[in-house]
Amino acid sequence: MTRIRPLHLGRRFVRALWPGRPRREDVAWVAGILQPNELGLWRALPKHDQRYTIRVARLVDEELAGTDFAEDERWLAAALLHDTGKLDAGLGVVGRSVATIVGAAARPARVDRWAGASGFRPP
């Protein structure tokens, strides 16, 4: 079962409500890392998710500094693309927040059934 980290999720929710695009220099950094098809996926993310994945990738970059993996941009690409699966859900900030809370409260078998269904399904 997924562990809920309320403080982390609360911060992400508040940041998601904050308007604004990623900084130009950050977008240029992303474009230098991702392949064209990957960049298209990343650009499809809502702006708040783009900002978040940049923050995650920068942290990964810092953690890898001085290691054998520092020059391998696959790690940065993975960090930048880790939320692209959320595009398939078609949910906004509030819908994703509700899905996270309900998913954590429900039993794993129920979550598995929901994952295979389309549309809203009450508990």
Query: Is 111 a member of any domain?
Result: no
Q: How far apart are CA 98 and CA 91, in angstroms?
A: 10
Quote the pLDDT of residue 1: 46
Does residue 117 fall inside a structural domain?
no
- Per-chain mean pLDDT for the chain: 84
**Is 52 contained in some domain?**
yes
Domain membership flag for residue 33: yes
| pLDDT tens-place string over residues 31-68 | 999 999 999 999 999 998 999 999 999 999 999 999 99
Which pair of structure tokens corresponds to residue 13? 């929710």
Q: From the CB of residue 42, how many other CB atoms can be counted at a distance below 10 Å? A: 23
Cβ–Cβ under 8 Å, residues 61 and 21: no
Is the full-model pTM beyond 0.85? no
**Tally of domains within the chain:** 1
- Residue 38 inside a domain? The answer is yes
Which residues constitute the domain of residue 46? 22-105
CA dist 40 and 34 (Å) reads 9
